[in-house]
Amino acid sequence: MPKINLLPKGTAELIAAGEVVERPASVVKELIENSIDAGAKHVTLEIKRGGILYIRVTDDGCGISFEDVPTAFLRHATSKIRSAKDLDSISSLGFRGEALAATSIVSKVELFTKQAEDLFGTHYLIDGGEQKLYEESGCPDGTTVIVRDIFYNTPARMKFLKKDVTEGNSVFAVLERMAISHPEISFKFIRDEKTVLTTPGDGKLYSAIYSVLGREISSTFIPVPDGEGAVRVSGFVCKPAFCRKSRAVQYVFLNGRYVQSNTVVAAVEQAYKNSAMIGKYPAFVICLDILPETVDVNVHPAKTQVRFADEKRIFDAVYYSVKNSIISGDTRPEIVLNRKPAPFGRMTAEQYRQQAVDIPTTPVEKAYGVDKPGFAAKREPRLSFKSDNTPFFERKDVKEYLQNRQESAPFDPPVEEKKAEPVVAKQAEDNAPDAANDNAEQISVRYIGEAFLTYIIVETDDSLYLIDKHAAHERINYNKLKTTASVESQQLLLPVSVRLAREEFDAVLSNEKLLTDAGFEIEDFGNSTVMVRAVPAMLSGEDVTDMIVEAAKNILKKGVPESERLDRIYYTVACKAAIKGGNYTTAAELEALAKKVLSNNDIMYCPHGRPVAFKLTRNELEKQFGRKV
Ligand code: ADP
Ligand code: MG
């Protein structure tokens, strides 16, 4: 058996230090936490080469007295804990008294510090745990810690460091979290001699978020009003239309500290269900303030993952706060036109003519007479309409519709004979939930028309709205399915037998209860065939086979938790029962639909998260036409 040796003191210290200080970002975190604890109002962080070469943190906090400086670098030296019972408190940031000691062991540290009440400050140097200089010195109030050549004496650790950029990005992430969780402190971050971030330190969370995340993201945020009680939730969440492809912009702060919590993330994401597109994630900053004595919190000192004794309570608090914010704070997405200066009055007649010749016109624009020079500056509208390759006015359905429209008075509901067309208009009114109907009549909405057989155009006091008729109707149907206790079903005159693929058949039978809840009546007919006797009432007349196959596919879809299956079936039903883009709908129906949409804030997105309506304000138009600047 090999002999057991006691490690030499230096080696043991290096190992211990390496556990506290893993990389530049962990040093930065510790140093900034110290500055915060010292009551700083301004904190500057400077790094070079990702912090591997150089880290400087300067604050205007309370400083350290001359006598205390060497002690601060001893292990287990802290001014923040006096007795074991203080350990319970997580509200004080650093509390292990190890950071300065560990850092000074694995790097070269230089310190300048001065307390406001002292005449002189202190200049201190310590390399690899060995004091090199300790003298009085003139310096400003507060503390500057400079850390050079991290891991210069621990090559094994050095090896684990990533590229400068990567380390630098981790440092950046640390600073961002600090800045957001301390809006009352003004932070400045200098990276390789460039100032890359400053925050105002005005005490407002939104200002800090704005500085850190930038205008684009923060302008999509709506506030989560400060809650009350033992679990208080506040912060900002993005409007559902601005959810992102990744979870990169998700911040959770617990009693002022950045933490990771799967529970909080799940609760926020749950609140976006049916508002955000599938596969997109909300951006948010959620601040949780809990009374430490009412909720047991377990924060690992090094890792940030946090666990709550009562996860459900936290989940509910976050879910309801965020849900309320989304419902009350969300507004319909607005169309903002390009702000290129309008060419009117600035061009010579010659330039005007030239431009008019140069720009090709699409058939749609031609038909609408928008191929005038004035429109040239705005060739690419933000909204692009999806279409197949057939030019719009060449499409069979469009031709028929237009012909039909010409026969009747403009904007009158087209005549009824055309009902024999492949598409039968659905009674949008009948399908709408009654709750949504309440104020539908009162709202002042003037119906203007329909574009591309898909988008309803209406006018209110100060805005135009473009409403996707299918998405709108789909959402109304979905809400109705969700809110009625038992979905009304309609017996088919003749039951329909539907032959399914083996796995679809199994899926349908093993989820029969769900299908019954959704208004279907289905029977096992053996041999991969089911007999459908009834369908949800809003569907009658639809192609039953398609419907069942699609429902089966939706149940089978990978990654859909069992709890969401019924919802998926509702999606299918709502979609199938909705009027379709490209199909003919009467003006009366469209008008009723528009009123319903605009009078109900819960009809903001279709069940898949696509927006139902866009708003174009009068103000925006006036700016665009140069009536207003
Ligand atoms: P801890 O923060 O856990 O107390 P540290 O090793 O980080 O341990 O710091 C040791 C002590 O040094 C602190 O308790 C504090 O008294 C003092 N100190 C460190 N940094 C600063 C600073 N920026 N301003 C004032 N005092 C500081
Ligand atoms: Mg500390």
DSSP 136-182: EE---SEEEEEEESTTTT-HHHHHH---HHHHHHHHHHHHHHHHHH-
Q: H-helix or E-strand containing 209?
A: helix 205-218
Nearest ligand 1 atom to the CA of 143 is 23
Q: Tell me what pLDDT residue 294 has.
A: 58
Residue 31 has pLDDT above 60, yes or no: yes
Is any atom of ligand 1 closer than 6 Å to the C-beta of 536? no
Cα distances (Å, whole numbers) of residue 558 to 155, 496, 553, 554, 562 = 47, 28, 10, 9, 11
Share of the chain above pLDDT 70, in %: 77
Is any atom of ligand 1 closer than 6 Å to the C-beta of 111? no
Domains of the chain: 9-198 (3.30.565.10), 214-329 (3.30.230.10), 349-393 (no CATH), 443-629 (3.30.1540.20)
Instruction: Report how far ligand 2's centroid is from the alpha carbon of 22 (Å).
Output: 15
Judged by average pLDDT, the poorest of 4-8, 137-141, 367-371, 504-508 is: 367-371
Distance CA 271, CA 103 (A): 43
Distance CA 156, CA 160 (A): 7
Give 119's DSSP letter. S
**Which two three-digit tokens encode residue 131?**
């004091």
Instruction: Report how far ligand 1's centroid is from the alpha carbon of 192 (Å).
Output: 26
Is any atom of ligand 1 closer than 6 Å to the C-beta of 143? yes
Of the ligands numbered here, which is closest to the C-alpha atom of 74? Answer: 1
Instruction: Report how far ligand 1's centroid is from the alpha carbon of 543 (Å).
Output: 72
Judged by average pLDDT, the poorest of 53-62, 304-313, 438-447, 593-602 is: 438-447
Residue 418 has pLDDT above 70, yes or no: no
Judged by average pLDDT, the poorest of 405-409, 504-508, 601-605 is: 405-409
Q: What is the pLDDT of residues 242-288, one digit of tens each?
A: 899 889 999 999 988 898 899 999 999 999 988 887 788 999 999 99
Q: Tell me what pLDDT residue 311 has.
A: 86
Residue 400 has pLDDT above 70, yes or no: no
Q: Tell me what pLDDT residue 488 has.
A: 86
Is any atom of ligand 1 closer than 6 Å to the C-beta of 79? yes
Residue 392 has pLDDT above 90, yes or no: no
Judged by average pLDDT, the poorest of 51-60, 75-84, 487-496, 589-598 is: 75-84
Cα-Cα-Cα-Cα torsion 529, 530, 533, 538, nearest 10 degrees, comes to -110
Is any atom of ligand 1 closer than 6 Å to the C-beta of 99? yes
Q: What region does 336 belong to: left with phi over 0, alpha with psi -120 to 50, or beta?
A: beta
Is any atom of ligand 1 closer than 6 Å to the C-beta of 616? no
Of the ligands numbered here, which is closest to the C-alpha atom of 100? Answer: 1
pLDDT mean over 560-582: 85
Nearest ligand 1 atom to the CA of 100 is 6
Maximum mean pLDDT: which of 167-181, 409-423, 570-584: 167-181
Q: Tell me what pLDDT residue 484 has.
A: 80
The SS3 assignment for 567 reads helix
Q: Tell me what pLDDT residue 406 has.
A: 44
Looking at residue 330, its amino acid is D
Cα distances (Å, whole numbers) of residue 20 to 222, 300, 586 = 38, 13, 70
Is any atom of ligand 1 closer than 6 Å to the C-beta of 621? no
Residue 563 has pLDDT above 60, yes or no: yes
Distance CA 153, CA 150 (A): 8
Q: Tell me what pLDDT residue 416 has.
A: 33
Distance CA 253, CA 178 (A): 10
Q: Which residue of 33, 37, 118 sits with most ligand 1 atoms within 8 Å of its CB, as the best mutation to test the pocket?
A: 37
Instruction: Report how far ligand 1's centroid is from the alpha carbon of 49 (Å).
Output: 25
Of the ligands numbered here, which is closest to the C-alpha atom of 75? Answer: 1
pLDDT mean over 483-501: 85
Distance CA 98, CA 109 (A): 14
Is any atom of ligand 1 closer than 6 Å to the C-beta of 38? yes
Residue 415 has pLDDT above 70, yes or no: no
Instruction: Report how far ligand 2's centroid is from the alpha carbon of 157 (Å).
Output: 21
Alpha carbon nearest to ligand 1 atom 25, residue: 63
Taking the mean position of all CA atoms in its chain, how far away is CA 268? 9
Is any atom of ligand 1 closer than 6 Å to the C-beta of 77? yes
Confidence band for 356, pLDDT divided at 50, 70 and 90:
very low
Q: Tell me what pLDDT residue 495 has.
A: 87
Alpha carbon nearest to ligand 1 atom 20, residue: 34
pLDDT mean over 521-541: 87
Maximum mean pLDDT: which of 389-393, 416-420, 446-450: 446-450
Neighbours of ion ligand 2 (CB under 5 A): 34, 94, 99
Looking at residue 71, its amino acid is T
pLDDT mean over 513-530: 89
Q: Tell me what pLDDT residue 7 has.
A: 63
Confidence band for 93, pLDDT divided at 50, 70 and 90:
very low
Residue 106 has pLDDT above 90, yes or no: yes
Q: Which residue of 27, 28, 34 sits with most ligand 1 atoms within 8 Å of its CB, as the best mutation to test the pocket?
A: 34
Alpha carbon nearest to ligand 1 atom 7, residue: 99
Alpha carbon nearest to ligand 1 atom 13, residue: 78
pLDDT mean over 14-26: 81
Judged by average pLDDT, the poorest of 309-323, 384-398, 436-450, 592-606 is: 384-398
pLDDT mean over 365-374: 38
Q: 172, 463, 234, 156: which is closest to 334 by C-alpha?
A: 463
Q: Tell me what pLDDT residue 101 has.
A: 92
Residue 551 has pLDDT above 50, yes or no: yes
Q: Tell me what pLDDT residue 372 has.
A: 35
Instruction: Report how far ligand 1's centroid is from the alpha carbon of 69 (Å).
Output: 9
Residue 412 has pLDDT above 50, yes or no: no
pLDDT mean over 527-536: 90
Share of the chain above pLDDT 90, in %: 44
Is any atom of ligand 1 closer than 6 Å to the C-beta of 144? no
Alpha carbon nearest to ligand 1 atom 2, residue: 94
Residue 580 has pLDDT above 80, yes or no: yes
Judged by average pLDDT, the poorest of 30-44, 85-99, 126-140, 570-584 is: 85-99
Residue 464 has pLDDT above 60, yes or no: yes
Tally of CA atoms within 13 A in the half-sphere of 560 that contains its CB = 15
Q: Who wins on pLDDT, 614 or 303? A: 614
pLDDT mean over 497-505: 88
Average pLDDT, the chain: 80
Residue 23 has pLDDT above 60, yes or no: yes
Q: Who wins on pLDDT, 494 or 468? A: 468
Instruction: Report how far ligand 1's centroid is from the alpha carbon of 321 (Å).
Output: 37
Q: Who wins on pLDDT, 372 or 13? A: 13
Distance CA 624, CA 338 (A): 8
Looking at residue 312, its amino acid is K
Confidence band for 112, pLDDT divided at 50, 70 and 90:
very high
Q: 563, 554, 561: which is closest to 608 by C-alpha?
A: 554
Residue 303 has pLDDT above 80, yes or no: no
Q: Tell me what pLDDT residue 96 has.
A: 64
The angle, 0 to 180 degrees and rounded to 10, between the axes of the packed helices 24-37 and 164-181 is 20
Is any atom of ligand 1 closer than 6 Å to the C-beta of 373? no
Is any atom of ligand 1 closer than 6 Å to the C-beta of 59? yes
Distance CA 94, CA 168 (A): 22
The pTM of the whole model exceeds 0.95 = no
Its sign, for the CA torsion 552, 554, 560, 561, is negative
Q: Who wins on pLDDT, 77 or 376? A: 77
Instruction: Report how far ligand 1's centroid is from the alpha carbon of 422 (Å).
Output: 77
Confidence band for 612, pLDDT divided at 50, 70 and 90:
very high
Confidence band for 17, pLDDT divided at 50, 70 and 90:
confident
Confidence band for 91, pLDDT divided at 50, 70 and 90:
very low
Instruction: Report how far ligand 2's centroid is from the alpha carbon of 5 (Å).
Output: 32
Nearest ligand 1 atom to the CA of 63 is 25
Q: 306, 310, 309, 299: which is closest to 90 by C-alpha?
A: 299
Q: What is the pLDDT of residues 213-251, one digit of tens each?
A: 998 899 999 999 887 778 899 999 999 888 998 899 999
Confidence band for 6, pLDDT divided at 50, 70 and 90:
low
Q: Tell me what pLDDT residue 405 has.
A: 46
Its sign, for the CA torsion 40, 41, 47, 52, is positive
Q: What is the pLDDT of residues 431-443, one digit of tens each?
A: 443 444 445 556 7
- Strand partners of residue 490: 535
pLDDT mean over 115-123: 96
pLDDT mean over 167-176: 96
Judged by average pLDDT, the poorest of 73-77, 450-454, 490-494 is: 73-77
